[in-house]
């Protein structure tokens, strides 16, 4: 039996009960390696390394010899996380002489860090009198023992963790793009991070090699299936997968894993160990191309570990955990959400990626485009995510952490106060009823109806579910989805909006047409009218779902009355065929293109209701892309132009007896909501997160008084770009919770 296997076999025996006495361990390693000394140093509070066990050095030094991290050769190995193999240790500049150990007699030294999840828990060192460099097999043995030791120390909690270098202890700030607002404070979890395997050692290398081969094959098959899934040539995902496959087929790392198994490790422990080495290498390589390949390799290691470690208990998600991921699929996000994460940070996320859409629906604070964070962060690092400010701080300073903890508590308290208002009627202080409704896009958001006490769904974005599933469902499936929405609404009104795809909302895999301005391109109802089959199928599904109940349908991105008529004609044609007919069919339109302002008389004669989509309306009115963060604060909804527009729609619609609602994001912001109500709009549809706050504000609003004030503020605007200040000033003066 080779040295490593014999040693590991003996260690397995020693560790059979989960623990191994360190003195026994050092004796065994020293004997197997034919070295005169083997010592284990363990990190203690105060960043000290303490000699915890030794074979060969003076026994009285145990528990007494202490080194600072960075001090002496052992301290240097702990600080850098790098092994040192020195034939003439005493002439190394870092050599620190400790007379109580008696180690001056030993010339050669091999010191290996004991690391787990990127942190140093201690150092294991062997020494010999004769000057010599330890060979690769010996280094391998000590490294393997170090890995076992790491598990041992971590499971017995007998070591403090030392940061691997100073940079790992100082706060690190990263900026990114807000994908979903909110804050979170808690330990980080790295998506796909290799978790320690439960079984480290194995009796039968042949069986382990076969398990590995099987897992590799399954992984390769999975990749092949992904690649052949009809991805268009030259498409970025295809390139990524192709290069990923090349890495997966690379024999170099597999050979390393095989060697480790032959040395006596279980397949998962061997993969884990090679994965750890890769991660360490990745940190040191500057070349972005190589880093990307190594990162893929790490991903793969994690996939293999999941396959091999079947039945592994999912790592518990600590409260407030912030998930860090390179990229994240919708199913993965749902899975993590179910396990209780409080925030998400992705290196490559865009606001329209599926994960972002889902995260928004789930109310998970999310930051995207945060480069390089995965290489720096370690599992369990404390982090603070401030998506509102596009910021992630790893290992924040205590004062910063406390300030955010206070803010989080304040938000929780506020939520509780708002929840208490759930069953209160939504009326202003003077008794004007305002219908507060929800914007919804996924079935799982429907629970928010009851949680918030909303009056109904003022905007159901039908495209969101299609984007999350990746394709447009067939009629029956769509009907089932819409039917569930109506069931959940239980008689409360639901405004279904037909597919609003294109622009920033693409189905995955659908080739985006090469357009210079996709937001103003071939999108939404334009596609619906040019490809009526898709729209008709959706309309049929909606009618089927209603199954005799009330049905409200509205069309997005209507630019002309003619378009509205054409869309309505399609709906009426379908309605003529579907039985039972809805109890009542209301056909409305979104108003989000300014051109409709000059067609209002005709439109209001034909539409049953109008919903102002202020997100798009703002971008088209001010010619300011809604997706460009640097423009986000440039134009204000509370501007004379926008308020005049709303007032005109409201006045004309009221005269025509057509209900008006607002379903853009502004409806969920207290000051904007108050202003809309001041302009006469009494139906507001918003994300669930805004509802309680708006209700809270309205409850203290003296509407007649505010109307007068608002009219005067608008009259005396004098060319101001925004009326926010005078409106907010009045609200503050009257003690309104804005």
Contact segment (CB under 6 A) with ligand PEP among 129-137, 185-193, 537-545, 610-618 equals: 610-618
Least spacing, CB of residue 263 vs ligand PEP, in Å: 57
528 binds ligand PEP (CB under 6 A): no
- Strand order, beta sheet including 382-386: 172-175, 391-394, 382-386, 183-190, 322-325, 343-346, 366-368, 177-180
- Strand order, beta sheet including 84-86: 66-68, 48-55, 37-44, 119-128, 108-116, 84-86
Neighbouring CB atoms inside 10 A of 498's CB total: 24
599 binds ligand PEP (CB under 6 A): no
Helix 640-656 × helix 614-621 angle, to 10°: 130
554 binds ligand PEP (CB under 6 A): no
In total, the chain counts a number of residues equal to 738
Q: Angle at CA 712, nearest 5°, toward 708 and 713?
A: 115
Among all chains, which residue has been given the structure tokens 């972002």? 356
Beta bridge partners of 433: 427
Least spacing, CB of residue 639 vs Mg ion, in Å: 19
Least spacing, CB of residue 618 vs ligand PEP, in Å: 8
614 binds ligand PEP (CB under 6 A): yes
Least spacing, CB of residue 169 vs ligand PEP, in Å: 43
Residues 6+ away with beta carbon under 8 Å from 628: none
696 binds ligand PEP (CB under 6 A): no
616 binds ligand PEP (CB under 6 A): yes
d(CA 357, CA 329): 11
d(CA 375, CA 352): 25
103 binds ligand PEP (CB under 6 A): no
Residue among 275, 241, 19, 4 at smallest CA distance from 135 = 4
386 binds ligand PEP (CB under 6 A): no
3-class secondary-structure state, position 473 = coil
Near ligand PEP in 118-137, by CB under 6 A: none
If the CB atoms of residues 439 and 639 are measured against Mg ion, the closer one turns out to be 439
Near ligand PEP in 432-491, by CB under 6 A: 459, 461
Q: Which does 722 bind (CB under 5 to 8 A by kind): Mg ion, ligand PEP, none?
A: none
Residues 6+ away with beta carbon under 8 Å from 229: none
If the CB atoms of residues 323 and 351 are measured against Mg ion, the closer one turns out to be 351
**Beta-sheet strands, E only, within 260-312:** none
d(CA 300, CA 245): 10
Annotated catalytic sites, by residue? 354, 663
**Measured at CB, which residue is nearest to Mg ion?**
616
With CB under 6 A as the rule, give the number of residues binding ligand PEP. 10
Q: Which does 50 bind (CB under 5 to 8 A by kind): Mg ion, ligand PEP, none?
A: none
615 binds ligand PEP (CB under 6 A): yes
672 binds ligand PEP (CB under 6 A): no
If the CB atoms of residues 144 and 498 are measured against ligand PEP, the closer one turns out to be 498
Take residue 185 and report the two structure tokens written for it: 């404070």
Q: Which does 664 bind (CB under 5 to 8 A by kind): ligand PEP, Mg ion, none?
A: ligand PEP
Contact segment (CB under 6 A) with ligand PEP among 78-86, 197-205, 286-294, 607-615 equals: 607-615
Least spacing, CB of residue 551 vs Mg ion, in Å: 21
Take residue 695 and report the two structure tokens written for it: 């209700």
Chain residues binding Mg ion by CB under 5 A are: 592, 613, 616
Q: Which does 118 bind (CB under 5 to 8 A by kind): ligand PEP, Mg ion, none?
A: none
613 binds ligand PEP (CB under 6 A): yes
Least spacing, CB of residue 114 vs ligand PEP, in Å: 53
Binder among 296, 500, 574, 696 for ligand PEP (CB under 6 A): 500
If the CB atoms of residues 253 and 637 are measured against ligand PEP, the closer one turns out to be 637
Q: Which does 714 bind (CB under 5 to 8 A by kind): Mg ion, ligand PEP, none?
A: none
If the CB atoms of residues 541 and 662 are measured against ligand PEP, the closer one turns out to be 662
Least spacing, CB of residue 314 vs ligand PEP, in Å: 35
Near ligand PEP in 577-596, by CB under 6 A: 592
Helices and strands (H, E) in the chain, number of each type: 26, 22
If the CB atoms of residues 79 and 621 are measured against ligand PEP, the closer one turns out to be 621
3-class secondary-structure state, position 43 = strand
663 binds ligand PEP (CB under 6 A): yes
Contact 62, 107 (CB under 8 A): no
3-class secondary-structure state, position 271 = helix
**Beta-sheet strands, E only, within 379-479:** 382-386, 391-394, 435-440, 457-461
Contact 683, 659 (CB under 8 A): yes
Beta bridge partners of 323: 189, 344
Beta bridge partners of 296: none
Contact segment (CB under 6 A) with ligand PEP among 336-344, 410-418, 445-453, 611-619 equals: 611-619
Q: Cα 363 from chain centroid?
A: 11
Contact segment (CB under 6 A) with ligand PEP among 261-269, 306-314, 448-456, 614-622 equals: 614-622
Segments in 473-557 forming alpha helices (H): 475-489, 525-530, 532-546
Contact segment (CB under 6 A) with ligand PEP among 71-79, 233-241, 444-452, 613-621 equals: 613-621
Tell me which residues touch ligand PEP (CB under 6 A): 459, 461, 500, 592, 613-616, 663-664
């Amino acid at each position: 039996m080779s040295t490593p296997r014999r040693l590991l076999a003996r260690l397995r025996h020693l560790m059979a009960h989960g623990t191994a006495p360190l003195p026994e361990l050092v004796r065994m390693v020293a004997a197997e390696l034919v070295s005169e000394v083997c010592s284990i140093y363990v990190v203690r509070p105060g960043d000290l390394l303490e000699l915890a066990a030794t074979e060969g050095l003076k026994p009285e030094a145990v528990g007494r010899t202490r080194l600072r991290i960075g001090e002496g050769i052992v301290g240097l190995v702990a600080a850098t996380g790098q092994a040192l193999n020195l034939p003439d240790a005493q002439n190394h500049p870092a050599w620190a002489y400790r007379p109580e150990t008696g180690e001056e007699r030993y010339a050669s030294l091999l010191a290996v860090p004991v690391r787990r999840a990127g942190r140093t828990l201690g150092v294991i060192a062997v020494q010999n009198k004769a000057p010599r460099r330890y060979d690769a097999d010996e280094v391998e043995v000590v490294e393997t023992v170090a890995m076992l030791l790491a598990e041992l120390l971590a499971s017995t909690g007998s070591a403090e963790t030392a940061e691997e270098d100073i940079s790992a202890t100082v706060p690190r700030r990263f900026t990114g793009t807000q994908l979903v607002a909110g804050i979170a404070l808690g330990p980080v979890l790295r998506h796909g991070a290799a978790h320690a395997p439960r079984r480290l050692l194995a009796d039968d290398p042949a069986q382990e090699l076969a398990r590995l081969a099987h897992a590799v094959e399954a992984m390769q098959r999975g990749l092949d299936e992904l690649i052949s899934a009809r991805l268009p040539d030259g498409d970025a995902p295809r390139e990524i997968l192709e290069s990923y496959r090349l890495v997966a087929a690379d024999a170099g790392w597999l050979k390393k894993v095989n060697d480790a198994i032959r040395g006596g490790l279980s397949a998962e422990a061997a993969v884990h160990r090679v994965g750890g080495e890769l991660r360490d290498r990745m940190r040191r390589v500057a070349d972005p191309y190589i880093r990307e390949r190594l990162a893929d390799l790490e991903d793969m290691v994690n996939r293999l570990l999941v396959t091999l470690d079947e039945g592994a208990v999912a790592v518990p998600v600590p409260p407030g955990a912030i998930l860090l991921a390179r990229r994240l699929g919708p199913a993965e996000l749902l899975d993590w959400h179910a396990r209780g994460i409080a925030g998400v940070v992705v290196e490559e996320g865009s606001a329209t990626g599926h994960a972002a859409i889902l995260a928004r629906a789930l109310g998970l604070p999310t930051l995207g485009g945060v480069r390089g964070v995965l290489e720096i962060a370690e599992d369990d690092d404390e982090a603070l995510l401030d998506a509102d400010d596009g910021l992630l701080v790893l290992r924040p300073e205590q004062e910063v952490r406390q300030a955010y903890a206070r803010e989080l508590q304040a938000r929780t308290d506020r939520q509780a106060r708002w929840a208490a208002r759930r069953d209160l009627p939504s009326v202003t202080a003077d008794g004007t009823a305002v219908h507060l409704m929800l914007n919804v896009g996924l079935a799982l958001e429907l629970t928010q109806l009851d949680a918030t006490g909303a009056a109904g769904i003022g905007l159901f974005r039908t495209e969101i579910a299609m984007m999350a599933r990746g394709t447009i469902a067939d009629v029956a499936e769509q009907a089932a989805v819409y039917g569930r929405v109506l069931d959940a609404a239980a008689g409360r009104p639901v405004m279904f909006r037909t597919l609003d795809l294109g622009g920033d909302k693409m189905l995955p895999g659908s080739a985006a047409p090469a357009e210079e301005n996709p937001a103003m391109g071939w999108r939404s109802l334009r596609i619906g009218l040019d490809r009526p089959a898709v729209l008709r199928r959706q309309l049929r599904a909606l009618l089927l779902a209603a199954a005799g109940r009330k049905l409200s349908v509205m069309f997005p991105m209507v630019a002309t009355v003619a378009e509205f008529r054409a869309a309505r004609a399609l709906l009426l044609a379908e309605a003529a065929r579907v039985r039972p007919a809805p109890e009542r069919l209301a056909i409305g339109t979104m108003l989000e293109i300014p051109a409709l302002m000059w067609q209002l008389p005709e439109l209001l004669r034909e539409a049953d209701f109008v919903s102002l989509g202020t997100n798009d309306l703002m971008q088209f009115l001010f010619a300011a892309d809604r997706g460009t963060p640097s423009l986000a604060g440039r134009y204000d909804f509370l501007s004379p132009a926008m308020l005049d527009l709303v007032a005109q729609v409201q006045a004309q619609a009221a005269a025509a007896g057509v209900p008006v609602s607002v379903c853009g994001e502004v409806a969920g912001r207290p000051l904007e909501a108050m202003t809309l109500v001041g302009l006469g709009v009494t139906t507001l549809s918003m994300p669930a997160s805004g509802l309680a706050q708006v209700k809270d504000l309205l409850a203290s609003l003296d509407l007649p008084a505010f109307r007068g004030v608002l009219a005067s503020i608008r009259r005396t605007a004098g060319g101001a770009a925004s009326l926010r200040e005078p409106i907010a000033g009045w609200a503050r003066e009257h003690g309104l919770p804005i």
